[in-house]
C-alpha cells in the first residue's frame, strides 16, 4: 500500500521554517480566553524531502496530457502550451492583491482584452470573466435569464434541456429554481416537433450545446432559435464544444442570447486534475445590464471596475474570476490569432473525422453524419463493454474516452482527439483499439499494468472511507 | 506550434475521408450563419516572444506594493516546494480522476487533503473543493436549506462583505430569505430575533473586521432554534482557535488561498467545505474515498457520485463539476510542509505583527476600533480630510492603502458609523522594518 504523507513523518520533524518573530509576542491564552486552543492538530510532521519524494511519487501514478493521448470526449484535452504557464508565473500579476485596486491596471487590461477577444470569437456583445468554471458560468447565465424575465414582470419558470445535454445543464437550471423540461433527440438532433410542443409562455430558456454531445452540428439551429424566441424564451448556449467553431461560426450569429466559455477546454488552459477552470459568460446587448458586478470597463484614464450596475444579478464570486486561468487563455489567443484559432478548429474537426474513419470497421457510430470535433461510438456489437475497452486502453498508455455518455447511445465511447494530436498518434490509437477488440478475454479484467487493478467502487460507496481517521474505524 | 499537421498530412487525411477540402467538413452548418472570415475583426497571431513582451509591458502597469490588506485573501509566505510539486505537469495537465486506475496520484492527494481539512475543522467529511470561500458559503447555505427545508437563513453581518454579496445573489435566485444579524460592539448580536424558523445560522470566525465572535452565543442560539450551524473560518488562524466542531458547527467552510496559493489578482482561489457525517450525502462536488482493488490493495476512487450532476442531473446536490483540485493539492503540500507546529507559528506571527501594527498606529494618533479581541485584521477610522493624502502617500511609498469599507455594497459595522472606517491586515510575511516604514507614512500625515 502506498503510504499517506503522515506515515512518512516523525514527531518533531519540520518541512518549512517560519521566520523568527520580530514583533512582541501576544499572550494568546490571556487574550483569547475560551476561544483559544492549545491542542496540536494531527497533521503530518515531515521534512521537505519527505514531501518532495511523496508527491513526486504520486505524480508518477497519474495520466496527463503531457504523458498520454487523452481522447476524453467533451473535455477537449488539448495540449497546454508552456508559454501560458510562464505567463501565469509572472510576478507582476501573481503577487497583486485583488483589492489593491490602485495596483491593478495591468491585470484589468488583460481582463478587458480577454473580454474583447471572447466577444469577437463568439459574436456576443459583452463578456464577464467572473464565473469560475463551466457550471458556474451556466448558473450565472441562468441567473441573468431569470433576472431578465423578472425585470419584465414575467413568471417564466421552465428551462428546456435536450436529453443529450451535459448533466450540468439540468443541474444548473434546477439550482436556479427552474423546472427542467426535457426534449428528446431525433436522429441525433433536437426533435423540432417535440420542441414546438414543449415551448410555452412558461419557457424561460432553451439550453443548447452545439455541436451537441454527439459531436454533430444542430443543423436546424435557425429554426430552433425562431421557435424559442417566438415563444418569448431565450437561448442559452453551452460553450463546452466551442473548439469546433472558432473562426467558423459564432454562437452570437446563431441567435444565442447568453452563453458560457470553458477556458479550460477551448482555450488550452490545463485541467489541473479537476480544476481550476474558468467559465466566462457572454451576453447580447439586451442582457448586458444583468451581468455580474463589477464589470471591467475602459475609461478615459485607464481601466476600471464598474460597480454601479443597478440591474446586475450581483456578485457570483469573491473577485473578478480565476485570473491566473484567464491570463493563460489570453496568451493562447494572442499567440494563435485569427488564423491560428480557425486552424485549431479545422484540425480538431479533421482529426475527429479521420479517427472515426480509421475505426469504422470495428466500432459502430450510430449518429455519424456530420461529425465535428468528436464522435460517439458504441461497443454494443463487440465482445466488450465500453468500460472494458476504456480500462484496456489504460494498459496501452492511452487515457480512456468518456464512457456511458451521452445517455442516448448504449455502451457509449465518446472520443475527442483534439487538434494537437498528429495523424500518427491517431493511427496508433486505432490499431491499439483493434488489437483490444481482437483479444477480448484479456481485456475483460484490464487494466493489468496500472498501479492498481480495478477498484471496488461499490464497496467505496457502501462503506465510505473518506478520511485518514476513518481508515481505522 | 501546437498543431503538428504538415500539408502532406492534411492531404493524406482528406484522401482517406474522400474529401477535397477541410471546408467540406463544415457543410452542415447553415450558410446564413457562417462567419465571413475576411471581415472577421480579430488580430493576427504573435510569436511566443512577442506575446510575452506584450504581456510584460502590460504587467508593468501593475504596481508592486507591500501588502497591508486582506479581507478574504492574504499575502502569506509560500514555500518553494509547494508549486515545484503542485506545478508538475503530471498533475497540472490531468483531467478529473474519473479513471481511478490512471489517477491514483491525484486521488490519493485529494484523500489527504480531505483528511487535513477534517482535522482542521473538526468535521467528519470534506469534499474535494469548490471554487472559492464565497461560493463555499453559498453551497453551505443551500445544503442547510436542503436539510432543514426552510427557505430562510440567519446570517451574521460579520461576514466578509464580498461573501454577503455572493450569498445574496444565490439566495435571490433560489428564493431563500436571509435574515441579517447586525454587529454590536464588533460582534454578531445573536440575541436579535429571526422572526420565525430558519434552516441555519451562518457566521464567520474571526469576522470581517478581524474580531473574534462569541462561539458560545452562536452555539446556544442555533441549538435553541434547532437550526444548523455554518461557520466560515480562516484555516491558519483556526490552528490557535477552538475547532468549530466544539461549538456546534454542522458545516465548516472557508477560503483556502492562505494555504500556499498566490494572490494572483484575485484567483484562482480555493473553497473548502466540510460537514458532519450526517450531512455527507448533501455535500456538493467530488469526494474521494478509499477502497480496495481486485488484489486487495488500497485504492482511491471518486465516490458517492449519486449526489453529482453527471449521475443525478436536475436532482443533484449541486451543479458543480470542475472544481479547484490543483489548488487543493497545493494546500495539501503547504499543510504537510508546515505541519501542526508551523501552522501555529504562522498564526502567532500574523497576530503578533498585526497587534504591533495596531499599537504603533495608536502611538502616532490613529484611531483604532477594537471593542473585541482581534487577530490578523482590524479597522481604523481615518478623518475625511486626511484620507486622500494618506492614500496618495502610501501608494508613492510602495504600500497598499487600507481598504475603504464604505465602498462595498453590503457592509455594516452595526452600531458603528462605517463612513470613515478602513481595514488593515498584517501577515507573517511582513517584517518589523516594513511595518515601521508603513507606520512612518502615517506619522507624517498625523503629525
The CATH number assigned to the domain holding A368 equals: 3.90.1150.10
Which band of pLDDT confidence, cut at 50, 70 and 90, is reported for residue B236?
very high
Answer yes or no: are the C-beta atoms of B274 and B238 closer than 8 Å: no
φ, ψ of residue B181 in degrees (nearest 5): -105, 110
3-state secondary structure of B181: strand
- Cβ–Cβ gap A272/B26 under 8 Å: no
The percentage of chain A sitting over the pLDDT mark of 70, rounded to a whole number, equals: 100
| B75, pLDDT greater than 70 | yes
The confidence score (pLDDT) of residue B306 equals 86
Which band of pLDDT confidence, cut at 50, 70 and 90, is reported for residue B349?
very high
Contact status of B396 with chain A (Cβ, < 8 Å) = no
- For A170-193, how does the pLDDT look when each residue is reduced to its tens digit (9 = 90+)? 999 999 999 999 999 999 999 999
Contact status of B11 with chain A (Cβ, < 8 Å) = no
* Same domain, residue pair A245 and A139: yes
* Same domain, residue pair A131 and A268: yes
Put simply, the chain B residues between 157 and 216 with a CB less than 8 A from any chain A CB are 160, 162-163, 165-166, 168-170, 172-175, 212, 215-216
A448: containing domain = 340-457
Written in H, E and C, the secondary structure of B202-255 is EEEECCCCCECCCHHHHHHHHHHHCCEEEEEECCCHHHHECCHHHHCCCEEEEE
| B12, pLDDT greater than 90 | yes
The confidence score (pLDDT) of residue B213 equals 97
3-state secondary structure of A254: helix
* Same domain, residue pair A363 and A414: yes
- Cβ–Cβ gap B28/A216 under 8 Å: yes
Which residues in chain A are closer than 8 Å to B290, comparing Cβ atoms?
460, 465-466, 470-471
Q: Which of B336, B360, B409 to mutate to test the interface with A (most CBs of A within 10 A)?
A: B336
* Same domain, residue pair A438 and A292: no
Distance CA A227, CA A232 (A): 9
- Report the residue from A61, A121, A342 with minimal CB separation from B105: A61
The confidence score (pLDDT) of residue A441 equals 93
Distance CA B168, CA B178 (A): 8
Question: In terms of CA atoms, which chain A residue is nearest residue B330?
Answer: A55
- Cβ–Cβ gap B264/A64 under 8 Å: no
- For A384-431, how does the pLDDT look when each residue is reduced to its tens digit (9 = 90+)? 999 999 999 999 999 999 999 999 999 999 999 999 999 999 999 999
Q: Among A135, A105, A208, which Cα is nearest to B284's?
A: A135
Region A449-456 average pLDDT: 96
* Same domain, residue pair A287 and A271: yes
Distance (Å) from the alpha carbon of B177 to chain A's nearest alpha carbon: 14
The confidence score (pLDDT) of residue A399 equals 97
- Cβ–Cβ gap B46/A273 under 8 Å: no
Judged on CB neighbours under 10 Å (0-12, 13-18, 19+), B8 is exposed
Answer yes or no: are the C-beta atoms of A81 and A65 closer than 8 Å: no
Q: Is residue A67 part of a domain?
A: no
Distance CA A325, CA B251 (A): 29
- Report the residue from B16, B101, B119 with minimal CB separation from A454: B101
Which residues in chain A are closer than 8 Å to B102, comparing Cβ atoms?
62-63, 68, 394, 399-400, 447, 450
Distance CA B234, CA B236 (A): 6
Cell numbers at B234, concatenated: 480562516
Judged on CB neighbours under 10 Å (0-12, 13-18, 19+), A461 is middle
| A473, pLDDT greater than 80 | no
Q: Is residue A463 part of a domain?
A: no
**What class, spelled out in words, does domain B80-334 have in CATH?**
alpha beta
The confidence score (pLDDT) of residue B181 equals 97
Pairing of strands B200-205, B228-233: parallel
The confidence score (pLDDT) of residue B194 equals 87
- Cβ–Cβ gap B309/A168 under 8 Å: yes
Which residues in chain A are closer than 8 Å to B43, comparing Cβ atoms?
334, 337-338
- For A72-84, how does the pLDDT look when each residue is reduced to its tens digit (9 = 90+)? 999 999 999 999 9
Q: Among B402, B411, B352, B355, which Cα is nearest to B381's?
A: B402
For the beta sheet containing A402-403, the strands, ordered from the edge strand earlier in sequence to the opposite edge, are A375-378, A412-415, A402-403
- For B192-230, how does the pLDDT look when each residue is reduced to its tens digit (9 = 90+)? 888 899 999 999 999 999 999 999 999 999 999 999 999
Cell numbers at B9, concatenated: 498530412
Pairing of strands B183-184, B187-188: antiparallel
Contact status of B403 with chain A (Cβ, < 8 Å) = yes
Pairing of strands B271-275, B125-126: antiparallel
Distance CA B34, CA B243 (A): 59
| A49, pLDDT greater than 70 | yes
Which residues in chain B are closer than 8 Å to A170, comparing Cβ atoms?
309, 313-314
* Same domain, residue pair A163 and A211: yes
Answer yes or no: are the C-beta atoms of A218 and A208 closer than 8 Å: yes
Domain residue extents for chain B = 80-334, 341-446
- Check which CATH number belongs to the domain holding A195 and give it: 3.40.640.10
Domain count, chain A: 3
- Cβ–Cβ gap A457/B63 under 8 Å: no
Q: Is residue A469 part of a domain?
A: no
- Cβ–Cβ gap A2/B298 under 8 Å: yes
User: What are the distances in angstroms from CA A203 to CA A154, A206, B157?
Assistant: 10, 8, 37
Q: Among B271, B178, B236, which Cα is nearest to A316's?
A: B271
- For B14-57, how does the pLDDT look when each residue is reduced to its tens digit (9 = 90+)? 999 999 999 999 999 999 999 999 999 999 999 999 999 999 99
* Same domain, residue pair A171 and A273: yes
Quickly list H helices, A12-132. 28-32, 48-59, 82-88, 91-94, 105-122
The confidence score (pLDDT) of residue A21 equals 87
The confidence score (pLDDT) of residue A2 equals 73
Q: Is residue A444 part of a domain?
A: yes
| A1, pLDDT greater than 60 | no
Cell numbers at A262, concatenated: 470553458
- Cβ–Cβ gap B131/A219 under 8 Å: no
Pairing of strands A158-162, A203-209: parallel
Cell numbers at B171, concatenated: 439566495
* Same domain, residue pair A218 and A125: yes
The confidence score (pLDDT) of residue B178 equals 98
Distance CA B120, CA B134 (A): 19
3-state secondary structure of B364: coil
The percentage of chain A sitting over the pLDDT mark of 90, rounded to a whole number, equals: 97
User: What are the distances in angstroms from CA B365 to CA A197, B359, B361, B381, B442?
Assistant: 73, 10, 7, 11, 9
Distance CA B336, CA B102 (A): 24
Answer yes or no: are the C-beta atoms of A216 and A374 closer than 8 Å: no
Which residues in chain A are closer than 8 Å to B242, comparing Cβ atoms?
34-37
Q: Among A461, A119, A101, A82, which Cα is nearest to A258's?
A: A119
- Cβ–Cβ gap B342/A357 under 8 Å: no
Distance CA A278, CA A56 (A): 27
Region A103-120 average pLDDT: 98
**Least confident among A464-473, B138-147, B203-212:** A464-473
Q: Is residue A18 part of a domain?
A: yes
Distance CA A70, CA B296 (A): 28
- Cβ–Cβ gap A121/B41 under 8 Å: no
The confidence score (pLDDT) of residue B50 equals 97
* Same domain, residue pair A131 and A175: yes
| A107, pLDDT greater than 70 | yes
- What DSSP state is assigned to residue B39? G
- For B370-416, how does the pLDDT look when each residue is reduced to its tens digit (9 = 90+)? 999 999 999 999 999 999 999 999 999 999 999 999 999 999 999 99
Distance (Å) from the alpha carbon of B56 to chain A's nearest alpha carbon: 8
Neighbours of B47 (CB within 10 A): 10
Which residues in chain B are closer than 8 Å to A62, comparing Cβ atoms?
90-91, 94, 97, 102-106
* Same domain, residue pair A448 and A378: yes
| B73, pLDDT greater than 90 | yes
* Same domain, residue pair A395 and A317: no
- For B83-105, how does the pLDDT look when each residue is reduced to its tens digit (9 = 90+)? 999 999 999 999 999 999 999 99
Distance (Å) from the alpha carbon of B328 to chain A's nearest alpha carbon: 9
Put simply, the chain B residues between 267 and 326 with a CB less than 8 A from any chain A CB are 267-269, 280, 286-295, 297-301, 303-306, 308-316, 318-326
Region B165-172 average pLDDT: 98
Question: In terms of CA atoms, which chain A residue is nearest residue B172?
Answer: A313
Distance (Å) from the alpha carbon of A286 to chain B's nearest alpha carbon: 19
Neighbours of B365 (CB within 10 A): 11
- For B178-194, how does the pLDDT look when each residue is reduced to its tens digit (9 = 90+)? 999 999 999 999 998 88
- Cβ–Cβ gap A315/B169 under 8 Å: yes
* Same domain, residue pair A349 and A321: no
Residue given cell 486552543 in the structure block? A37
B202 strand-pairing partners: B155, B230
The confidence score (pLDDT) of residue B134 equals 98
Q: Which of B1, B2, B357 to mutate to test the interface with A (most CBs of A within 10 A)?
A: B2
Answer yes or no: are the C-beta atoms of A277 and A271 closer than 8 Å: yes
Pairing of strands B177-181, B125-126: unpaired
- Domain B341-446, CATH 3.90.1150.10 — does that match? yes
Cell numbers at B410, concatenated: 453590503
What's the angle, vertex CA B265, arms to CA B428 and CA B337, rounded to 5?
40
The confidence score (pLDDT) of residue B410 equals 96
Question: In terms of CA atoms, which chain B residue is nearest residue A400?
Answer: B99
| A279, pLDDT greater than 80 | yes
Amino acid at each position: 500500500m502506498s503510504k499517506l504523507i503522515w506515515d512518512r513523518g516523525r514527531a518533531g520533524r519540520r518541512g518549512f521554517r517560519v521566520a523568527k518573530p520580530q514583533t512582541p509576542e501576544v499572550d494568546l491564552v490571556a487574550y483569547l480566553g475560551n476561544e483559544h486552543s492549545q491542542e496540536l492538530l494531527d497533521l503530518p510532521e515531515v521534512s521537505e524531502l519527505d514531501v518532495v519524494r511523496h508527491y513526486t511519487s504520486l505524480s508518477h501514478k497519474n495520466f496527463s496530457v503531457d504523458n498520454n493521448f487523452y481522447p476524453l470526449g467533451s473535455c477537449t484535452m488539448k495540449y497546454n502550451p508552456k508559454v501560458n504557464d510562464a505567463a501565469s508565473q509572472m510576478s507582476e500579476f501573481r503577487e497583486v492583491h485583488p483589492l489593491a485596486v490602485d495596483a491593478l491596471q495591468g491585470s484589468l487590461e488583460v481582463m478587458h482584452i480577454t473580454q474583447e477577444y471572447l466577444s469577437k470569437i463568439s459574436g456576443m456583445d459583452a463578456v464577464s470573466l467572473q464565473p469560475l468554471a463551466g457550471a458556474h458560468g451556466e448558473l450565472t447565465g441562468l441567473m441573468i435569464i431569470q433576472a431578465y424575465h423578472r425585470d419584465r414582470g414575467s413568471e417564466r419558470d421552465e428551462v428546456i434541456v435536450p436529453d443529450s445535454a451535459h448533466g450540468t445543464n439540468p443541474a444548473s437550471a434546477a439550482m436556479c429554481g427552474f423546472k427542467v423540461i426535457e426534449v428528446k433527440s431525433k436522429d441525433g438532433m433536437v426533435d423540432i416537433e417535440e420542441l414546438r410542443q414543449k415551448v410555452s409562455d412558461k419557457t424561460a430558456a432553451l439550453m443548447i450545446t452545439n455541436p451537441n454531445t454527439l459531436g454533430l452540428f444542430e443543423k436546424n439551429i435557425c429554426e430552433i432559435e425562431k421557435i424559442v424566441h417566438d415563444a418569448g424564451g431565450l437561448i442559452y448556449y453551452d460553450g463546452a464544444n466551442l473548439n469546433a467553431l472558432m473562426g467558423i461560426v459564432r454562437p452570437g450569429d446563431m441567435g444565442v442570447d447568453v452563453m458560457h466559455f470553458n477556458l479550460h477546454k477551448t482555450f488550452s488552459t490545463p485541467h489541473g486534475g479537476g480544476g481550476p477552470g474558468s467559465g466566462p459568460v457572454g451576453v447580447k446587448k439586451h442582457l448586458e445590464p444583468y451581468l455580474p458586478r463589477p464589470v471591467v470597463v475602459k475609461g478615459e484614464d485607464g481601466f476600471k471596475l464598474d460597480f454601479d450596475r443597478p440591474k446586475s444579478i450581483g456578485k457570483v464570486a469573491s473577485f473578478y474570476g480565476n485570473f491566473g486561468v484567464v491570463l493563460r487563455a489570453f496568451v493562447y489567443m494572442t499567440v494563435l490569432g485569427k488564423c491560428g484559432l480557425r486552424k485549431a478548429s479545422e484540425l480538431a474537426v479533421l482529426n475527429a473525422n479521420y479517427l472515426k474513419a480509421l475505426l469504422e470497421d470495428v466500432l459502430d457510430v450510430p449518429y455519424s453524419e456530420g461529425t465535428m470535433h468528436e464522435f460517439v461510438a458504441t461497443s454494443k456489437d463487440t465482445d466488450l463493454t465500453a468500460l472494458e475497452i476504456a480500462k484496456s486502453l489504460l494498459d496501452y498508455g492511452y487515457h480512456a474516452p468518456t464512457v456511458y455518455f451521452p445517455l442516448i447511445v448504449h455502451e457509449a465511447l465518446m472520443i475527442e482527439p483534439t487538434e494537437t494530436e498528429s495523424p500518427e498518434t491517431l493511427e496508433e490509437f486505432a490499431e491499439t483499439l483493434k488489437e483490444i477488440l481482437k483479444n477480448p478475454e484479456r481485456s475483460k479484467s484490464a487494466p493489468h499494468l496500472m498501479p492498481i487493478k480495478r477498484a471496488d467502487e461499490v464497496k467505496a460507496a457502501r462503506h465510505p472511507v473518506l478520511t485518514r481517521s476513518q481508515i481505522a474505524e | 506550434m501546437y498543431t503538428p499537421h504538415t500539408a502532406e498530412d492534411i492531404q493524406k487525411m482528406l484522401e482517406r475521408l474522400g474529401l477535397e477540402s477541410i471546408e467540406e467538413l463544415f457543410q452542415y452548418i447553415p450558410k446564413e450563419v457562417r462567419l465571413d472570415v475576411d471581415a472577421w475583426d480579430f488580430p493576427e497571431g504573435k510569436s511566443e516572444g512577442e506575446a510575452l513582451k506584450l504581456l510584460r509591458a502590460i504587467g508593468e502597469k501593475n504596481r508592486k506594493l507591500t501588502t497591508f490588506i486582506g479581507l478574504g485573501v492574504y499575502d502569506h509566505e509560500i514555500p518553494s516546494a509547494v508549486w515545484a510539486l503542485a506545478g508538475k505537469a503530471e498533475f497540472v495537465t490531468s483531467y478529473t480522476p474519473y479513471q481511478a486506475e490512471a489517477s491514483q496520484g491525484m486521488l490519493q492527494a485529494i484523500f489527504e487533503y480531505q483528511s487535513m481539512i477534517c482535522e482542521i475543522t473538526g468535521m467528519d467529511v470534506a469534499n474535494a473543493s469548490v471554487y472559492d470561500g464565497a461560493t463555499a458559503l453559498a453551497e453551505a447555505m443551500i445544503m442547510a436549506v436542503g436539510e432543514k427545508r426552510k427557505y430562510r437563513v440567519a446570517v451574521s453581518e460579520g461576514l466578509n462583505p464580498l461573501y454577503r454579496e455572493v450569498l445574496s445573489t444565490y439566495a435571490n435566485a433560489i428564493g431563500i430569505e436571509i435574515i441579517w444579524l447586525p454587529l454590536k460592539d464588533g460582534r454578531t448580536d445573536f440575541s436579535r430575533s429571526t422572526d420565525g424558523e430558519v434552516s441555519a445560522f451562518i457566521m464567520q470566525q474571526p469576522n470581517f473586521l478581524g474580531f473574534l465572535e462569541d462561539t458560545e452565543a452562536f452555539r446556544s442560539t442555533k441549538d435553541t432554534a434547532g437550526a444548523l450551524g455554518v461557520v466560515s473560518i480562516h484555516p491558519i488562524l483556526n490552528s490557535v482557535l477552538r475547532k468549530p466542531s466544539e461549538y456546534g458547527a454542522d458545516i465548516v467552510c472557508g477560503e483556502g488561498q492562505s494555504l500556499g496559493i498566490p494572490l494572483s489578482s484575485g484567483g484562482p482561489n480555493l473553497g473548502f467545505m466540510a460537514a458532519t457525517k450526517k450531512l455527507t450525502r448533501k455535500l456538493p462536488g467530488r469526494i474521494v474515498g478509499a477502497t480496495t482493488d481486485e488484489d486487495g490493495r488500497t485504492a482511491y476512487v471518486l465516490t458517492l457520485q449519486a449526489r453529482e450532476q453527471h449521475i443525478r442531473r436536475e436532482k443533484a446536490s449541486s451543479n458543480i463539476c470542475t472544481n479547484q483540485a490543483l489548488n487543493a493539492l497545493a494546500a495539501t503540500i503547504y499543510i504537510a510542509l508546515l505541519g501542526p507546529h508551523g501552522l501555529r507559528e504562522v498564526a502567532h506571527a500574523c497576530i503578533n505583527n498585526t497587534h504591533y501594527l495596531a499599537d504603533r498606529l495608536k502611538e502616532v494618533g490613529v484611531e483604532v476600533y477594537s471593542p473585541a479581541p482581534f487577530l490578523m485584521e482590524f479597522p481604523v477610522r481615518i478623518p475625511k480630510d486626511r484620507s486622500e493624502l494618506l492614500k496618495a502617500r502610501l501608494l508613492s511609498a510602495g504600500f497598499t492603502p487600507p481598504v475603504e469599507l464604505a465602498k462595498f455594497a453590503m457592509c455594516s459595522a452595526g452600531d458603528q458609523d462605517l463612513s470613515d472606517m478602513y481595514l488593515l491586515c498584517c501577515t507573517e510575511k511582513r517584517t518589523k522594518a516594513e511595518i515601521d516604514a508603513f507606520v512612518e507614512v502615517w506619522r507624517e500625515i498625523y503629525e
